[in-house]
Structure 1
Amino acid sequence: MADKRPFRVGIMGFGQMGRQIYDLASAADDVEVVAIADIGEREILHYLLCSEVADPTRYKLEGNFLVNPRFRARLMQIDRPAEMPWDIFSVDAVIDATGRFRDQRSMEEHLSNGAGRVLLRTLPLDVIDRIVVPTINGAAAQASDRMISAGSPTTTALCLLLHGLSQQVAIQCASMTTIHAFTSDQALQDYAGSDFRRSRSAAKNIIPNTHEASLWIGSVLPAFEDKIMTWALNVPVQEGCLLDVNLVLEDGTVGVEEINSAMCAAASQSPGVLDTVEDPIVSSDVIGNPASVVFDLRGTIKAGGHTIKTLSWYETLGHAARLLDLVRLYGQLDQQEAKA
């Protein structure tokens, strides 16, 4: 990177995902966060960041700037994309980490205010330029893409699992249930919301929930269009999620050993993104793991002639890392276009 400037990134939303992205960027040498938009008080945002990271002494609050040994990020107390002047920061990309502004209009507001492109940390509400999981369909990305989704932690984990297995095993269809940590949009006490079950306390209930991955998975893996059913169970755990996937295979002779072997091979092709584990881990053991999915070799079970059950683990840090991979991917495409 000695002859290239770092990719300049803005972050909208400094919740858990936004803080993880910032922390990872501060340890890299090719990305710098130059501006952060969040409605929170800057002292509280700094406090929350320092409460989570391994070395809080690296982060200082200097006036309106969040500072680390690599770069300074301007803190802007702003709530909506239309209010954020990205143009004055010359950002290459904005990562919308709020999970709120998923519609095309909100993404266009980021672009109109000076963002080179917008990367969503979750699935979109509308048709956008592309949904990208870099190690699966990154080759399809184009420098002309402006509105991009990185999927979601669950969607990415599921795509990596299906992609890895489908290299060696023919899959007819599958059903996925994510046993998911509770989220910040859930109420800790029973509180009337837009959905009956999600109005119940996240702190003391297992709450069935729908999941959108099945609607969008064909955008990343066309071969699985209309072949995957997805569901979620939000549980009273703050971090760490379990991906429970039941696969219906075409070949009834495929067993546990072949499935585990396929995932080990896939992990060797995507180091740091897809991992495997033989130890009998639980959800807290995956906290701090930057892989997008950790396949549990002990969790593979065959039931009947064609059904295989698999277990995998993940947490949001892996998705934060993939968002920065996406920044790099598009930054490199821009550089190649500039040289052409």
Structure 2
Amino acid sequence: MRNGKIRVGIMGLGQIGRHLYHLALEKDDIEIVAVADIGKPEIIEYLLKSDGVDEPSCKLQDNYLINDKFRTRMLQLARPEDVPWDVLDVDCVVDATGRYRRRRDVEGHVRAGARRVILASLPSEPIDRIVIPGLNESHAASADKMISAGSATTNAFALLLQSLDQSLAVDCASMTTVHAYSSDQSLQDYAHEDFRRSRSAAENIIPNNNESARWVEAVLPKFAGKLSGYALNVPVQRGSLLDINCVMQDAGVTVNQVNDAMRAAATRHPNLIGVTDDPIVSSDVIGCRQSLLFDARATLKAGKKIVKVLAWYESLGHACRVLDVVRQYSKLDGNGGES
């Protein structure tokens, strides 16, 4: 930390990475001191300016992206171990590539001098800790070096499940995320290691595996072996939807009780959970900074114990949670950070 600011390095300035850059400009407690990306710095500057965010303008000058609040060293590098994080004197690195999820890849950042690494995605194998704001941030420890801030889907699922379970007792649940297409999908049919993901994201609803249920079970062990999840990637750029079927322990649970439980959760965690009674669609959730926006109009009771609920979310909300985790660990290190 220098001059009261948390010094953050980012690897990968895709959608989440650019959200992080824009969000850092809104406050005075974080500065993005370095960005590593496979793209040319000139292209990164162009994309940031094309995001349509009203904020102080940035300008590329001598390999630095400069704005009114901080200047960012731009590095065109592809691998975690290639970035000189020690020389850059960062407090933590956020890996927003979505690519380097194995433990040995995350360790590459540490070997290159990163004091702490926070994945903006789920890991592919166990690391020090997964931290989901609103759920288990109190478990964070200063000794943690490799952390995941979950994913947009995982965090929304976990928060919704915990909220309903605390109030009404959930026995088990299944989840389908109707998810905006992602940057690793091709817009045209193109050979991919997965058959279905070889098809055009712009033209198809594509069934896909999803890891969220497994990691929610790890964070909420009482649900071990009781959760399942699937994904449908759809031709939408931003705005995703969770469709969750919960088997309740009490057959007497009503739709109104479910909606009231989520309203109470939103009151307890207004920065994380929202509730809407409006007939919204996916584009209406763009710009939502909460982890989930519960759709009260959509709650259904099916049979005796099954309740179906819908909740909306988008990538900006997850970027906000990533920075929540950055600030949480800065506090543990005795460096303050915005509350």
If the TM-score is normalised by the length of the shorter chain, which range does it land in? over 0.9
Contact 2:63 2:74 survives alignment (8 Å): yes
Contact 2:22 2:53 survives alignment (8 Å): no
Contact 1:214 1:226 survives alignment (8 Å): no
1:308 aligns with 2:314: no
Partner of 2:265: 266
What is the RMSD computed on CA atoms of the aligned residues?
Answer: 1.5
Query: Which range moves more in the overlay, 199-208 or 58-67?
Result: 58-67
1:41 aligns with 2:40: yes
| Superimposed CA distance per residue, residues 124-165 of structure 1 (whole angstroms, 9 cap, x where no aligned partner) | 112111000121101111000001001111001101101111
Partner of 1:187: 186
Measure the CA separation in 2 of the matches of 1:105 and 1:238: 32
Q: CA deviation at 1:106?
A: 1.0
Question: AA paired with 1:7?
Answer: I
Measure the CA separation in 1 of the matches of 2:309 and 2:3: 43
Contact 1:50 1:56 survives alignment (8 Å): no
Contact 2:186 2:198 survives alignment (8 Å): yes
1:7 aligns with 2:6: yes
Divergent runs of 4+, >3 A: none
SS in 2 for 1:106: helix
Partner of 2:222: 223
| Superimposed CA distance per residue, residues 196-227 of structure 1 (whole angstroms, 9 cap, x where no aligned partner) | 11111111000000100122112221222211
Contact 1:152 1:319 survives alignment (8 Å): yes
Measure the CA separation in 2 of the matches of 1:118 and 1:336: 17
Partner of 2:96: 97
Measure the CA separation in 1 of the matches of 2:56 and 2:331: 32
State the TM-score, normalizing by the size of structure 1: 0.96
Measure the CA separation in 2 of the matches of 1:209 and 1:167: 30
**Structure 1 unaligned regions, length at least 5:** none
Measure the CA separation in 2 of the matches of 1:330 and 1:111: 16
Q: CA deviation at 1:54?
A: 2.0
SS in 2 for 1:5: coil
Query: Which range moves more in the overlay, 210-219 or 199-208?
Result: 210-219
Contact 1:23 1:53 survives alignment (8 Å): no
Query: Which range moves more in the overlay, 319-328 or 267-276?
Result: 267-276
Question: AA paired with 2:304?
Answer: G
| Superimposed CA distance per residue, residues 153-193 of structure 1 (whole angstroms, 9 cap, x where no aligned partner) | 10011011011111101111111000000111111111111
Partner of 1:197: 196
Measure the CA separation in 1 of the matches of 2:94 and 2:53: 23
Query: Aligned runs of 1:49-68 on 2, under 5 Å?
Result: 49-55=48-54, 58-68=57-67
Q: CA deviation at 1:57?
A: 5.1
Identity across matched positions, percent: 54
Measure the CA separation in 2 of the matches of 1:211 and 1:317: 20
1:144 aligns with 2:143: yes
Measure the CA separation in 2 of the matches of 1:56 and 1:66: 14
Measure the CA separation in 1 of the matches of 2:78 and 2:232: 30
Partner of 2:27: 28
Partner of 2:128: 129
